[in-house]
């Protein structure tokens, strides 16, 4: 009855595609049986995997979003793209909007009639529930991945994907940033690019990306637009999934770049984002204490007392608290 195939966006990394393919085959296996609870649960998991791949490919954080928010953010990132506009003519947009509502409905359906929760009473799930879940999931996922292919052809997206997956020789990233017209990019694109560069250079020991894309901005901030530097600071605190994962070295560099911005609103926004984020795995109590100390040590970089005060509050989020760690 169903054809369990999804289009793979050409620039999509193998790692991201494998996550989608795994969820797709799990749904296909479930659909061959009569465990309708499992089918509904697997349909929702496929949609969630696609949304997270879309957001990761667009370098958008999603650590604390619930399913409905994930779908909305992924849909928005595909629907409206800088320099490309909206995602189709009005009749097709109406269908796409309806598909978004359908896939959000899959999440609600799973809450009442799918796996993923222990239940005191087995719900009266039927083949109709399963059929609707599969159909809605495949419709939206096919659109999302088809649209993602067009979106990633955008110059900025292509460079983000290149940063995340390609090897760089010295000077190549500098040239690519020049070729892309970094100083003329819309703020959203420049910030997204900065975040991707910081996450690649700071956490994957990609020294060339670190030198050309991060350290250069710390040493010569006037050569890089403010939006790109804001993205760098964010990427030095958050991993690609939106979880807090940093180190004293990254904090020191982030402070240098943040101070160069001389932007109280940004420091306050950063503080709020960090305060509301979940700590990533791998951040032990000892790591947290070192990061908190590094944050405090770098406060003198901010001559503005308001910025310095907001920066110092960030250290409180990293004060060790074993009960708050996610393991």
Give pLDDT tens digits for 245-270: 999 999 999 999 999 999 999 999 99
Of the residues 113, 130, 151, which one is the last residue of a structural domain? 151
What pLDDT, on the 0 to 100 scale, is given for residue 295? 96
What range defines the domain where residue 311 resides?
Answer: 155-324
The 10s digit of each residue's pLDDT in 116-154 is 878 878 888 899 999 999 999 999 999 999 888 877 765
Distance, CA of 122 to CA of 241 (rounded, Å)? 34
Q: Are residues 122 and 179 in the same domain?
A: no
Contact 180, 219 (CB under 8 A): no
Question: Would you say residue 5 lies in a domain?
Answer: no
Residue with tokens 């005191």: 120
> Would you say residue 166 has pLDDT above 80?
no
Asked if residue 300 and residue 260 are part of one domain, the reply reads yes
Side-chain half-sphere CA neighbours of 110 within 13 A? 26
Q: Would you give the distance in Å from CA 28 to the centre of its chain?
A: 27
Domain endpoint, select from 131, 151, 171 = 151
Query: Of the candidates 70, 77, 75, 63, which has an alpha carbon nearest to the alpha carbon of residue 188?
Result: 77
- pLDDT recorded at residue 134: 95
Domain containing 39 — which CATH number?
Answer: 1.20.120
User: Tokens 């609870």 — which residue?
Assistant: 37
Structure tokens at 33: 């049986």
* Residue 327 pLDDT level (bands cut at 50, 70, 90): very low
> pLDDT tens across 37-87, in order?
999 999 999 999 999 999 888 766 666 778 888 898 888 888 754 444 455
Q: Are residues 178 and 300 in the same domain?
A: yes
- Whether residue 196 is predicted with pLDDT greater than 50 in this model: the reply is yes
Mean pLDDT of 294-298: 96
């Amino acid at each position: 009855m169903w054809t369990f195939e999804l289009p793979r966006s050409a620039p999509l990394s193998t790692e991201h595609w494998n996550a989608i393919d795994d969820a797709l085959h799990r749904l296909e296996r479930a659909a061959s049986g009569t465990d309708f609870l499992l089918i509904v649960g697997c349909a929702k998991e496929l949609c969630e995997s696609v949304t997270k791949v879309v957001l990761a490919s667009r370098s958008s954080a999603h650590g604390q979003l619930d399913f409905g928010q994930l779908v909305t953010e992924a849909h928005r990132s595909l629907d409206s793209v800088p320099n490309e506009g909206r995602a189709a003519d009005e009749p097709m947009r109406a269908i796409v909007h309806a598909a978004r509502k359908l896939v959000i409905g899959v999440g609600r359906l799973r809450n009442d009639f799918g796996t993923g929760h222990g239940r005191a009473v087995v719900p009266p799930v039927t083949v109709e529930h399963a059929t609707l879940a599969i159909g809605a999931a495949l419709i939206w996922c096919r659109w999302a991945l088809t649209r993602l292919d067009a979106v990633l052809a955008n110059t900025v997206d292509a460079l983000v994907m290149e940063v995340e997956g390609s090897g760089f020789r010295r000077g190549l990233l500098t040239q690519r940033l020049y070729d892309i017209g970094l100083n003329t990019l819309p703020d959203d694109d420049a910030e997204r690019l900065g975040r991707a560069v910081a996450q690649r250079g700071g956490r994957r020991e990609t020294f060339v990306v670190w030198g050309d894309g991060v350290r250069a901005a710390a040493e010569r901030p006037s050569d890089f637009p403010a939006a790109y530097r804001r993205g760098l600071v964010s990427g030095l605190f958050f991993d690609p999934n939106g979880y807090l994962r940093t180190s004293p070295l990254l904090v020191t560099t982030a402070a240098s770049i943040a101070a160069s911005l001389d932007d109280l609103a940004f420091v306050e926004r950063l503080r709020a984002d960090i305060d509301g984020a979940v700590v990533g795995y791998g951040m032990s109590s000892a790591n947290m204490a070192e990061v908190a100390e590094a944050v405090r040590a770098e406060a003198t970089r901010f001559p503005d007392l308001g910025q310095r005060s907001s920066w110092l509050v960030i250290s409180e989020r990293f004060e060790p608290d074993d009960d708050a760690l996610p393991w």
